[in-house]
Amino acid sequence: MRVFNSFRNISVGMIQSLIMLILGFICRSIFIRYLGVEYQGLNSLFSSLISMLSIAQLGIGTALVYSMYQSIAEQNIEVIKSIMRFYKNCYRLIAGVVFAFGMILLPFLSFFSSYKGIDENIYFIFLLFLVNSVVGYLFTYKRSIIYANQENYLITICDTVTWTLMDLAQIGVLIIYKNFIIYLVIATISTFLENLFINFLANKKYPYLKEKNIDKIPTEILSNLKKQILGLFMGQIGSFVVFGTDSIIISRFLGLNEMGIYSNYLLLSTAISGFLGQISAGIVASAGNLLTEKDYERNYTIFKRLNFIIFWIYTLASIGIFVVSGPFISIWLGKNYLLSSFIIFFFVLNFYISGTRVGLGVFVNAAGIYYETRWIPLIESAINLASGLILVHFIGLAGIIIATILSTLYLMFMIPKYTLRRIFKKNTNGFYRTQLFYLVIFLMMLFFTGIISQILLVNQNLYVNFGISLLICLIIPNLFLFILFRKSSHYEYLKNLILSRFAFLSKSE
């Protein structure tokens, strides 16, 4: 059942990511065409500011999903009800805190950019972003019980339908009215309707959520929750500073135009990582269920296999971005929206290193190890912010990306020290050697594939170059990895996994 749930969640998630990928690029093309790249930069900047305010959620959602695994396995309805009520009250408080801090931030918006090229009132625009965020907090809490029951696919389907309708409506508004305000209002309405439907779905699947006789949350669970929430809060701060402040620093020191161009590459990488992230999202609840069995050797074997699969996938994706992004963006938006190869190298390296966190992150999240590592994200964020503010003055955008790489490497070094022994009863030496080996292989393949692409991409036709780039990325890295790992047990597992999935699909037809 665990494998079936994972496969179902992953399959539906990948279909969603593919749909959102296509719609995202169409919507971005129309957005830039009718509003301009400066508005895209503004969109990225205000999204980052809202992410900063989202630190107020303290990571409560993740902690509560983790806290429900055991109760769901034991069918302890009363405890589940008490946890859900606690979740509801927390998110109502968070909505109020986010709104209050958003209003405090409002008078200081001029600090973050000059807003050159923006015609509408920036304060009103920011208020629309803020309202959309608050509406999401007020109605989102019942998602957690669906996630904890390994039924992510239901949320995914709902998200896909809502986002598709929203994108289509926004595209229509951009073409007909060329109005950013209406564009944002549609997003807020969509957020409200989507969460309303998920609320209805959760109540229908779990009728006990509507019951009024709810006990207080058990002291032991509440105590553990407080510890995990504290650890997650530190993680929230670290995640925002590492991934959220980049947009703020770029807008402040390089301008909205540069932010808008960079955001197109972020859309590409985010779409790909979102597609690949369905692998981890689909199995994290299953991993949580797996860890309750306390079979450390088996769990460690599964972790190593997952880590190998993540390495293979992110190697292909990273090399794909490096080689294909140039021809793709030239066709999609035009050559004026290209970044230099120097910047793209560090962008791709950051994408790869961030991606390799996924394997360990799945088990860390499933095991709920947040309190023990609470200080690591704070140090990570300090490294990122300090080095970013320094390097941006010397090498511009590349410096901000390098700062993110440095802070992520620190996290990758520290987190295993606190987690591997607890989850798998193993030391960290083997993990470090493996990750370093994988990184060297990735860099060699990136260099080799980049050289081949430079030799072959001599045709002036962008579409021909795009097609050749795709073939290079699909053939060369896969061939190299196959030759290198074909005799390893991890490759054998990956091959059998793929073959079993095709067999499963053929039987279901």
Domain ranges of the chain: 1-236, 293-509
State the DSSP H helix or E strand holding residue 390, giving kind and residue range, or none if neither: helix 376-395
- 256: helix, coil or strand? helix
The letter for the amino acid at 83 is I
Distance CA 367, CA 2 (A): 16
Distance CA 393, CA 386 (A): 12
Instruction: Give the phi and the psi of residue 369 in degrees, each rounded to 5.
Output: -90, 90
Are the beta carbons of 171 and 26 closer than 8 angstroms? yes
Alpha helices in 206-357 (DSSP H): 219-239, 245-253, 256-291, 296-332, 341-355
Q: 203: closest CA among 118, 130, 145?
A: 145
pLDDT averaged per 10 residues, the chain (length 509): 58 76 91 95 93 68 72 84 86 88 93 90 96 85 80 84 94 95 96 90 89 85 75 67 82 93 92 72 50 69 85 94 94 93 96 87 70 78 92 96 94 85 84 95 95 84 90 94 92 79 50
| pLDDT attached to residue 61 | 67
Distance CA 278, CA 417 (A): 26
| pLDDT attached to residue 7 | 61
| pLDDT attached to residue 493 | 81
Q: 11: closest CA among 107, 152, 147?
A: 152
Spell out the residues 6+ positions from residue 202 whose beta carbon is closer than 8 angstroms to its own: 142, 143, 145, 146, 209
Beta carbons within 10 angstroms of residue 401's beta carbon: 24
**DSSP letter, residue 242:** I
| pLDDT attached to residue 506 | 47
| pLDDT attached to residue 20 | 81
Distance CA 143, CA 194 (A): 11
* Max Cα-Cα span within the chain: 72
Distance CA 134, CA 153 (A): 25
The reported pTM is 0.82
Are the beta carbons of 66 and 284 closer than 8 angstroms? no
Cα angle value 56/226/66 (rounded, 5°): 90
Q: 269: closest CA among 12, 11, 15, 21?
A: 21
Spell out the residues 6+ positions from residue 35 whose beta carbon is closer than 8 angstroms to its own: 174, 178, 180
Q: What is the dihedral of CA 338, 339, 341, 342, to 10 degrees?
A: 170
Instruction: Give the phi and the psi of residue 352 in degrees, each rounded to 5.
Output: -65, -50
Which residue has tokens 């630190």? 55
Half-sphere exposure of 164 (CA within 13 A, CB side): 12
Distance CA 151, CA 144 (A): 10
